[in-house]
Chain A
Amino acid sequence: MNGTVKATGSMGRERRQAYMLVAPAVAVLMGVALYPILAAIWLSLHRLILVFGERKWLGLENYGFMLGDARFWNALGNTGYFTLVAVSVELLLAVPLALLLNTSFPGRGLLRASVLVPWAIPTVVSAKLWAWLFNPDYGLINRLLPGQDINWLGVPGYALHAAILVDVWKTTPFMALLVLAGLQGISEDIYKAARVDGASRWRSFVSITLPLLKPAILLALLFRTLDAFRVFDAIFVLTEGGPANTTETLSIYAYKTLMRAGNFGYGSMLSVMTFLCVVGLSLVYIRLLGKEGR
């Protein structure tokens, strides 16, 4: 049957129609992603203040200024710390959660539906919800904790960790679902064989589940790392980057430079730097995943 479709005449036609069918999607992707990225790089080489209509070619001067910009390094550090801690905690919670969701017991349906609740809630709403929990005067957290009331979002050191907690609450379910998909791909027979050989539950988790789960975990880490690195919504709503810029991430610094200061040149440069960091991180993961594939 294959031959009928792939006869030469129809083959060329098939390919032509394929290009026709994908053309609109390709055009949209170029228009909303490729062109804006190139334009952002172009803008980052200028001094551009919107309200004054001022535009001047600077070359790499913005990038040079960045090297000595303590606020940039602070934002980069905050973003890195946020990403590293949030994603690690999410992984530590997601693996047991996925194992639980993969076990058959009466409460599984309820648990599976419940974990999707934080996922479905808009990030802005989840940040407001947690801001209320963190409220220094009437928040649930201070009500439950003994001792003096703590201003969770107002004290440097606490605020970034509060934001991490919000991210963990919101995105652990997604990571657990990805790990669960990996777990469901592991055949039951391997466990049966291990049990016959006298392996304990823990032993078969460490020697069978984890190694076989590694590709799924790496993929989940890739998605979550890139997603956490561009964090904006939650922190903007919780603290707007304060107190004293201790929660200011790259996205927030770039947003403030663009939309509050109206500095489109330097702001675009910060956006491009965020983009380059994400590209770098994904290259690292792709290498790791590639090694896994071999």
Chain B
Amino acid sequence: MKRPGLWLATVAFLTFFLGPFFWQVLTSVWPDGQLTQPLPTSLTFDNYVSVLWGRPFLQVLVNSLLAASLTTLFCMAVGASAAFALAKLEFRGRNLLLAAALAVSMFPPIATVSPLYLILRATGLRDTLVGLVPPYATFALPLTLWILTSFFRQLPDELYRAARVDGCTPLGAFWRVLLPLAAPGLATTAILVFIFAWNEFLYALTFLSSPEKRTVPVAISLFASEHKEPWGEIAAASVIATLPLVVMTILFQRRIVSGLTAGAVKE
């Protein structure tokens, strides 16, 4: 307790950042009839039961899982080889491509909504989860490229040269030598892309119209009952939708921080 200012600031920041989340957790186990009281006198899991079994929320969770996983797989498949080339090979337009990826990640999503809507409608992909993958790639692919490129750059050039001397083609060196070594980078990228895709709202709101296709953010934003806002159920749904992310973030915090600042991309 040598530096009281330090502790005061720590407590203040902890309260500000964690307080609202704890209040939401408390609300989720707060009996509906007692919401008018200052604090609940008993706790209940009714809200969880009614969210999971009274609403199509399990379906919604599966939808989000699908959309986020497909986006992650797609971006890794397309982005890994490109990130390797950006980090280790010399070719014209290398810096231009990195700058373009950065610029694309800065696009306001609203700017591309109207043409993407028309394209998805014309191809029959509107209101499908697969149809979310291309729009999601607008933010997920640049993120993949930046983070993976910085990971490939950290691998020593000698590895690549040795593989080439041993007779590998550049593609072979990438596939057999560097890609396995970049596994931690791939994991970091996958975690971040998954989180961003899981949290996306505008595209999912615009391109999905059937209630049974909704992703978690869309479902929660449109959560309403006929009479009043179901705060307890919203809180329960929020906790269900957020807890896996919070646990994942705390488990992988080092990776996430290094990935975010390596790529230095997005919120």
Contact = CB atoms under 8 A, between A and B. Distances in A.
- Please say whether chains A and B are actual partners in one complex: yes
Interface of A: 1-2, 4-5, 10, 13-15, 17-22, 24-26, 28-29, 31-33, 35-37, 39-40, 43, 96-97, 100, 103, 105, 107, 110-130, 132-133, 135, 137-138, 140, 143, 169-171, 173-174, 177-178, 180-181, 219, 223-224, 226-227, 229-230, 232-233, 236-237, 250-251, 254-255, 258-259, 264, 267-268, 270-272, 274-275, 278, 282
Interface stretch (B45-53, B54-62, B111-119, B181-189): B111-119
A17 B169 contact: yes
Contacts of A117: 17-18, 21, 246, 249
Given A21-B82, A36-B116, A5 B161 contact: yes
Given A26-B97, A278-B107, A36 B112 contact: yes
Nearest to B25: A129
Contacts of A120: 195, 242, 245-246, 248-249
Contact of B100 (A29, A107, A140): A29
Contacts of B31: none
Contacts, number: 285
The A contact surface, by secondary structure, is helix
B78 A25 contact: yes
B101 to A, nearest CB: 7
Contacts of A255: 110, 113, 202, 206
B217 A123 contact: yes
Interface residues of B, number: 96
Contacts of B142: 29
Interface string B1-23: 00100110110011011101101
Contacts of A97: 13
Contacts of B10: 100, 105, 107, 111
Contacts of A180: 261
A114 to B, nearest CB: 5
Nearest to A249: B110
B165 A116 contact: no
A122 B111 contact: no
